[in-house]
A and B are shown apart, each in its own frame.
Chain A
Amino acid sequence: MNKNIMPPVIEIGVVGWLRKNLFSTWYNTILTLVGLYFIYLIIPPLLSWIFFDATFSGTTREDCTSSGACWVFIKQNMKLIIYGLYPSNELWRINIAYFLLTVSIVYLLIPNLKYKGIVGIFLLVIFPIICVFLFSGGLGLENVETRLWGGLFLTLVIAGVGIVLSLPIGIMLALGRRSKLPVVSLLSTIFIEIWRGVPLITVLFMASNMFPLFMPEGVNFDKLMRALIGVMFFSAAYLAEVVRGGLQAMPKGQYEASQAAGLTYWKMMGLIILPQSLKIVIPAIIGSFIALFKDTTLVLIIGLFDFLGIIQFVGTNPDWLGFSHEGYVFAAAIFWVFCFGMSRYSQRLEKKLDTGH
C-alpha cells in the first residue's frame, strides 16, 4: 500500500544534509557562519594571487607588473630547481631516470596489469643500480661530483635511497630486537635507541663535520654519501619500531601454526608473519616515509642544495630578490603533491591487501 512512501524531505537531499551537518543547533549554525566568513576572507585573495592576477609569461622580473604571483621567477629558474648545478650537457642522464621512474610508477598504479612483480623488483633493485651509474658516472659516462647535485633531483635521491634501504634495515632491526638471542636483541635495541634519541639535524651535522675527524688523513668520504647513510639509519630506527609494533600484533597462534607445519624461522617470518604484520602497519610505514621525504630538506644545513634549498638559493639571486613567496608556495605545492600521493597510495594498498581478517 505504502510501498513507495519517501522519507521526509527534511531528512534527505541537500537540505537534509545541510540541516544535519551544518545547522543542527544554534551554536553549530554560528560555527558554520564563522567558518564560511573565514573561507571568504582567505580563499578568493589566495586564488587571485596564485592564478587570476599572476604573471605566467615573460623572462625577467620586469614582466611581472601585476599584483599577483610572479611565476616567471619559477619558470626562469626551473632548470636549477629540478637539476641543481648538474652539467647542462649531462642532464639527459637525469631525464632518463625521471622517465624510468615515472613509467614504472604509473605502471604499478594501473590496476590489473600483469608482471607488476617484475616491475616492482626493477624499481627497487635494478633501477637504483642504473641510477648510481647514470648520476655519478662510470661505464664510459663522465664523472659528476655530488656537490653539483641539487634541486628536486637531489631530494628524490635522498628520499629514494632512504625509503628503499631503510625498510629492509628496519625490518631486520625489528626482528633483531625481538630475537631470543640476547646479544642480537641487545645490539639491535642499542642501535635503535641511539638513532632515535638523536635529532636528524645532529646526525647530519655529525656526518658532515665530525665524521671526517675520525677518518685517517687523505681518506675522503663523499659528503652526500655520509648524509645518505645518516638519513637511512635514522629512518630505519623509526621503521624498526613501527615494524615491531606490527610483529607484536600477531597472535601467538600464527607462530605456532607455522612451526607445527615445519617452517623454519626465516620461512615463517617471510611467508606468514611479516606479510601480515607489515600490512597492519602500512599507514605508519607510509607516515614514516612522508616524514623522511620532508626531513630531506634538512640537508641544507650541511651545504647540500635540495629542492627547498635551491629555491631559497635562487631567491637570493639579485635579479630575483623579493620573490621568496612564490618560491615557498611552489615548494609547498610540490611537497604536498608527493606526500599526498604517498598517502593515497597507502590507502589503496591497504584496500587491495585486505582479506577480511
Chain B
Amino acid sequence: MTSETMIEMSSVHKWFGELHVLNDINLKVAKGEKIVICGPSGSGKSTLIRCINRLEEHQRGEIVVEGTELTNDNRSVEKIRGEVGMVFQQFNLFPHLSILDNCSLAPIWVRKLPKVEAREKAMEYLKRVQIDDQAHKYPAQLSGGQQQRAAIARALCMEPRIMLFDEPTSALDPEMIKEVLDVMVGLAEGGMTMLVVTHEMGFAKEVADKIIFMDEGQIVESKNPTDFFSNPESERTKTFLSQIL
C-alpha cells in the first residue's frame, strides 16, 4: 500500500505497575485500512487502541497519529482526539442527555458548530444508523443495540478520520449484535480507517484488511484474514482460534 499513513506506533511500551501490558508494539495503519485486533482477555488489545487517543498513556516509544506525535502537550492530545472517534463496550452514552444532544454536544462545544447545524448533522448520522426516530429519547429508553448505534453516530458526528472500536458488541444480547455489526460494515465500505477490538470472527473475515493477534502485551501474529485463519504460524494463535471458532 502506498497511501498515507494514519497511525504509526513504534516500539511502544506500557506498564500497569509491574505488569508489562504493551511490550514493543510496532504498528502502521494506512488510510482506509481496517484492522481487527483479537486475543485473550488481558492481552493488551484494549490498552493498545486506548493509547491511540490517549485514554491510556504509553511510557516508551512513539505514537504518531496523522503526523502529530502524542506527547504530554495537551494541544497534541486535543488535536488527535478531534480526529479519532471511539466506541466503547459499555456504550458510555451520556444518560442525562437525549440521543440528539449526545450526538450534537461535542460538535457544538469542541468543533464550535452552530447549534442548528450540529443538530442537523446529528440527525443525518442517526438516520444512517437507523435510529433517527429515537433522537429525542434518553439513552435508558433504548435497547442495547440501539444505544451502541447511537454511540457510533455520536462518534461519527465529529467527522473523525479514524474510528476505534473497543469490543463494541461484547455487552450486547446476541440478537442485537448483528444490527451493530451491519452499521460497522457499512462504515468500513465507506472507506473509514478502523481499528476494531472484537471476537466477532465473521466480521473480521468480511471486513478486515489485517487481523492482529495479541498475547501478553505483544503482537504475536499480523496477517490478512485468509492467511490468518488458514495458516496461523504461532501455537498461541492456533489454540486461541480453536477455542473461539
Binding site for B on A (CB under 8 A): 251, 253-254, 256-264, 267, 271-272, 275-276, 279, 353, 355-357
Q: Check if A259 sits within 8 Å of B81, measured CB to CB.
A: yes
Cα(A83)–Cα(B155), bound, Å: 58
Report Cα–Cα, A353/B96, bound state, in Å: 8
- Offer 15 A-B interface pairs, CB within 8 angstroms, sorted by A: A253-B90, A253-B92, A256-B86, A256-B92, A259-B54, A259-B81, A260-B85, A261-B105, A264-B78, A271-B109, A276-B95, A353-B96, A355-B96, A357-B96, A357-B139
In the assembled complex, which residues on chain B have CB atoms less than 8 Å from the CB atom of A279?
A: 96
A272 vs B154: C-alpha distance in the bound complex, in angstroms? 14
Whether B110 contacts A261 by the Cβ 8 Å rule is yes
CA separation between A261 and B107, bound complex, in Å?
9
Chain B interface, number of residues (Cβ within 8 angstroms): 27
Q: Is the CB of A355 within 8 A of B81?
A: no
Per the bound structure, the CA–CA distance linking A262 and B55 in Å amounts to 11
CA distance A260 to B154 in the complex (A): 11
Query: In the complex, what distance in Å separates the CA atom of A264 from the CA atom of B77?
Result: 10
With A259-B53, A261-B106, A272-B94 known, 15 other A-B pairs at CB within 8 A are: A251-B92, A253-B88, A254-B94, A256-B92, A257-B86, A257-B94, A260-B84, A261-B105, A261-B155, A261-B158, A262-B81, A264-B78, A353-B96, A356-B95, A357-B138
Alpha-carbon gap, A260 to B96, bound state (A): 18
Q: What residues of chain B lie closer than 8 Å to A276, measured between beta carbons?
A: 94-96
Any A CB within 8 A of the CB of B226: no
For B88-118 the 0/1 string (1 means CB < 8 A from A) is 1010111110000000011001100000000
B82 at the interface (CB under 8 A from A): yes
> Contact: B154 with A275, CB < 8 Å?
no
**In the complex, A103→B110 CA distance in Å?**
38
Contact A355 B138 (CB under 8 A): yes
CB pair B88–A257 under 8 Å, yes or no, is yes
Spell out B's residues near A (CB within 8 Å): 53-55, 78, 81-82, 84-86, 88, 90, 92-96, 105-106, 109-110, 138-141, 154-155, 158
CA A236 to CA B105, docked complex, whole Å? 30
Known: A257-B94, A355-B138. A263 touches B88 (CB 8 A): no
- A275 near B96 (CB under 8 angstroms)? yes
In the complex, residue of chain A having the shortest beta-carbon distance to the beta carbon of B108: A271
B154 cross-chain contacts in A, Cβ below 8 A: 261
Q: In the assembled complex, which residues on chain A have CB atoms less than 8 Å from the CB atom of B93?
A: 257
A256 in contact with B55 (CB, 8 Å): yes
Per the bound structure, the CA–CA distance linking A260 and B165 in Å amounts to 12
Inter-chain CA distance A258–B155, complex, in Å, is 11
Taking a contact as CB atoms under 8 Å apart, the answer to whether A356 and B138 are in contact is yes
Whether the Cβ atoms of B106 and A262 lie closer than 8 Å is yes
Query: In the complex, what residue of chain B is closest to A267 when comparing beta carbons?
Result: B109
Quick one: given A260-B85, A356-B141, are A271 and B95 in contact (CB under 8 Å)? no
List of A residues within 8 angstroms of B158 by Cβ: 261-262
A262 and B82 within 8 A (CB):
yes
Task: Give the shortest distance, in Å, between A263 (CB) and chain B (any CB).
Answer: 6
Q: Which of A259, A262, A355 contacts B95 (CB 8 A)?
A: A355
Q: How far is the CA of A262 from the CA of B54 in the complex (A)?
A: 11
Does B110 contact A262, Cβ atoms closer than 8 Å?
Answer: yes
Query: What CA separation (Å) do A57 and B82 show in the bound complex?
Result: 73
Take A253-B92, A275-B96, A276-B96 as given contacts and tell me if A260 and B53 are in contact as well, using a CB distance cutoff of 8 Å: yes
Alpha-carbon separation in the docked complex, A267 to B109 (Å): 8
Determine the distance from Cα of A258 to Cα of B110 in the docked complex, in whole angstroms.
11
Known: A272-B94, A356-B140, A357-B139. A259 touches B55 (CB 8 A): yes
Q: Ordered nearest first, which 10 A-B pairs have the shortest CB separation?
A: A357-B95, A257-B92, A356-B140, A253-B92, A261-B106, A260-B86, A262-B81, A355-B138, A262-B110, A357-B140
Q: Is the CB of B109 within 8 A of A256?
A: no
Alpha-carbon distance A279/B154, docked complex (angstroms): 24
Interchain nearest-CB distance for A253 vs B (Å): 4
Contacts of B138 in A (CB 8 A): 355-357
* A261→B154 CA distance, assembly (Å): 9
Q: Which residue on chain A has the smallest CB distance to residue B151?
A: A257
